Structure 1
Amino acid sequence: MSGRAQLMWDEAVTGYDFGRGHPMDPVRLALTMRLVEAFGLDRAPVEVVAARPAGESTLRLVHRADYLDAVRAASADPAVADARYGLGTEDDPAFRGMHEVSALIAGQSVGAAEAVARGDALHAVNFAGGLHHAMPGGAAGFCVYNDAALAIARLLELGVERVAYVDTDVHHGDGVQAAFWEDPRVLTVSLHEHPRTLFPGTGWPQETGGPGAEGSAANLALPAGTGDAGWLRAFHAVVPELLGAFRPQVLVTQHGADTHIEDPLAHLGVSLDAQRAVALACHTLAHEHTDGRWIALGGGGYAVVDVVPRAWTHLTAVAAGRPLAPETPVPEEWRHEAFRRTRQPAPHRMTDGVEPRWRDFTEGGYDPADRLDQAILATRRAVFPAHGLLP
């Protein structure tokens, strides 16, 4: 067993709804929870907990007061949404109750942080979270409040001295990086599609942290088209060594499912099986470096039937200490529920039928002409020396 595990869930988080036709369809959250329940992952040893919404003082740990005021105003009357704060835009249209449900999602991640910091749980999962693009003063990329940054800020407030954040979403974790750009207590590591080809256009390897926090940010910009072998090679070439050097006390990870080959908004070629492999790797790294203290969040992911529910159910199962074998059949009742809600056929097994494989970067050598290896080397050369590591 991996120890005590909490799953943060309140059905009201499905009210985070930008409207018909928006890619961030809240059905992905409902279907994930229904699949978790179908596998019995909501029962002991997992404790399902609904935390309170994040309050003003908590939200102010990351977000500016004027931005919070703008969100509340747009939440009460979407017609007054202020685009200067990223509200009322195509990506982040305003909707009634936006502040309340955004604060609720943030509260789940903050609650996870509190549970882990206080020893009430060893692992905590909030797959409704991972809204990593929200900035201190603005909404961006479907994200209103940055629950990942708020969870980290709460950990620091509770006395945690070093927090590592590993973001495997296809998009750069720009909002979390920005929140801790000058804070050497937080290491942010982001693996994402190259900024030349994908929003938000940041996350270059040269982005390594602000004054007094040099080396606190690591960015691995992957070429479009990168598949399982390259994605896993990149993860293992950077993340374990940096965590070993940084010696975090808590690990926070973001597991956007939009790296998947079927995701409609990005251009990587990763399988569900590789996503499961990274969840397992993060679990192992937590036990190696943080005595198991691990907070796992969701993120992006827009293949709302085929990919997202399975990916985050695997994540929940790993955190619960009950990992699901890839060949496990998807429960028939869940497949019927998915079709009823979406009119899309659902997958039959918890796998894409792929066995993830990769070549180890440090042992197997590298190809200086290969674009993926060039990306890995660029990151290692930019960040590793700041941690006393050889690039």
Structure 2
Amino acid sequence: MKVAVIYHPDFGSKGHSVLKARIKPSFEALERSGLLEGEDVQVFSAEAAPLALVERSHTREHMERMRTEPSERMYHEVALLSAGSVLRAAEMVAEGGAHHSFAYTGTAGHHASPGSCWGFCYYNDVAIAIMRLREMGLARFLIVDVDPHFGDGTRNFFGEDPHVYHVNFNHQVSSNYDGEKRNHDIGIGFDADDETFLRELSAAMEMAKDFDFQICFVVFGHDSHADDYGGFELTTAAYPKMARIIKEASGERGVVFVLSGGSIPEVASKAIPEVISVLSGR
């Protein structure tokens, strides 16, 4: 199988109020696209991440807030399901069941630190998946965060880890690369267009592809679209080009796309099937 798509209808019905409206329309667009015909692209149901694994990733205080505070408690179950979606997507690639994968989510993850969270994020789905993959024997990972908001939670998990290479796009107008710690921050401003974004992504992936990673995670926030809330000025044409750059730089190594920010159904309905099409080789 070329691409595993992990999905659950609860992402569209119980997901965060800002994020959930895009889920069902984009999945229906994927069904209409013809990509699910045949064996190359298959859909699998998400299951909640094991609570014990999540508890090893986050502090006891954070877990208690998620269970008791009203603003967090209402999304606790769908956040566990979202983390489970990313976990299954990563495991399928690691085990060879799929070459690449795309994980739908109902909440995001990259603003969730070990002991805190904000910005529609509750549990750091990528950090939880990496913890599990390390239990399976994998060690080195590339994370490419193209959501226009800085992935501070992911950086708090892995900023000191020399075995994780973290490429992080953001609204800042300055950029920074810490070669020793593998932290590459790319600030392209609030009005970044397709050309700027794709040029900077290509340069970053050229640097990252020599890092001996085993799996690449892509934190995919389409809030970077000009019609969405994130502040970049991208068009939908940028997303399949982005996916192609990352896939080609990853070579034979698997790529796990993780749905992050974004609220506009029309954007998601075009971007998500096109990204999955690139991953499938069509």
Give the TM-score of the pair, scaled to structure 2.
0.92
Task: Quote the residue 2:119 is aligned against.
Answer: 141
State the 1:95 CA deviation: 5.4
Task: Quote the residue 1:187 is aligned against.
Answer: 165
Q: From the superposition, tell whether residues 102 and 234 of structure 1 become closer, same or farther in structure 2 (CA, over 3 Å).
A: same
- 1:307 aligns to what SS in structure 2? helix
State the identity as a percent.
Answer: 28
Partners of 2:9 and 2:86 in 1: CA distance? 15
For 2:40, give the aligned amino acid: P
State the 1:207 CA deviation: 7.0
Task: Quote the residue 1:33 is aligned against.
Answer: 27
The one of the two structures with greater contact order (alpha-carbon pairs below 8 A, sep at least 6) is 2
For 1:6, give the aligned amino acid: A
Partners of 1:189 and 1:136 in 2: CA distance? 20
Task: Quote the residue 2:265 is aligned against.
Answer: 305
State the 1:18 CA deviation: 4.1
Q: From the superposition, tell whether residues 162 and 71 of structure 1 become closer, same or farther in structure 2 (CA, over 3 Å).
A: same
1:225 to 182, 191, 194: 191
Does the Cα contact within 8 Å between 2:214 and 2:253 map onto a contact in 1? no
Q: Note if 1:276 corresponds to 2:240.
A: yes
2:80 to 84, 90, 103: 103
Task: Quote the residue 1:177 is aligned against.
Answer: 155
The CA deviation string for residues 272-324 of structure 1, in whole angstroms up to 9 with x for no partner, is 111220011112122x2xx231111111112x1331221112112222333xx
Structure 2, unmatched stretches of 5+, are none
Task: Quote the residue 1:216 is aligned against.
Answer: 182
State the 1:206 CA deviation: 4.4
Partners of 2:102 and 2:65 in 1: CA distance? 29
Does the Cα contact within 8 Å between 1:130 and 1:256 map onto a contact in 2? no
Partners of 1:33 and 1:60 in 2: CA distance? 30
State the 1:271 CA deviation: 1.1
Structure of larger gyration radius? 1
The CA deviation string for residues 334-376 of structure 1, in whole angstroms up to 9 with x for no partner, is xxxxxxxxxxxxxxxxxxxxxxxxxxxxxxxxxxxxxxxxxxx
State the 1:39 CA deviation: 1.2
Partners of 1:267 and 1:247 in 2: CA distance? 33
Q: From the superposition, tell whether residues 101 and 172 of structure 1 become closer, same or farther in structure 2 (CA, over 3 Å).
A: same
Partners of 1:285 and 1:130 in 2: CA distance? 25
Partners of 2:88 and 2:63 in 1: CA distance? 20
Task: Quote the residue 2:218 is aligned against.
Answer: 253
Q: Note if 1:234 corresponds to 2:229.
A: no
* Structure with the larger strand share: 2
Q: Note if 1:118 corresponds to 2:95.
A: yes
Q: CA RMSD in A?
A: 2.0
2:43 to 48, 51, 68: 48
Partners of 2:156 and 2:108 in 1: CA distance? 15
Task: Quote the residue 1:166 is aligned against.
Answer: 144
The CA deviation string for residues 115-160 of structure 1, in whole angstroms up to 9 with x for no partner, is 1111111111113265211111122111111112222222222111
For 2:21, give the aligned amino acid: V
For 2:162, give the aligned amino acid: P
Does the Cα contact within 8 Å between 1:127 and 1:312 map onto a contact in 2? no
Does the Cα contact within 8 Å between 1:163 and 1:187 map onto a contact in 2? yes
Task: Quote the residue 1:63 is aligned against.
Answer: 58
Partners of 1:234 and 1:207 in 2: CA distance? 13
State the 1:48 CA deviation: 1.1
Partners of 2:4 and 2:127 in 1: CA distance? 19
State the 1:46 CA deviation: 1.6
Task: Quote the residue 1:369 is aligned against.
Answer: none
Q: From the superposition, tell whether residues 298 and 17 of structure 1 become closer, same or farther in structure 2 (CA, over 3 Å).
A: closer
Partners of 1:187 and 1:130 in 2: CA distance? 20
- 2:209 aligns to what SS in structure 1? helix
The CA deviation string for residues 70-117 of structure 1, in whole angstroms up to 9 with x for no partner, is 21223xxx2xxxxxxxxx3xxxxx453x21111001001011111111
Does the Cα contact within 8 Å between 2:23 and 2:265 map onto a contact in 1? no
Structure 1, unmatched stretches of 5+, are 79-87, 89-93, 196-203, 323-391
For 2:219, give the aligned amino acid: Q
Ranges of 4+ aligned residues in structure 1 off by more than 4 Å: none
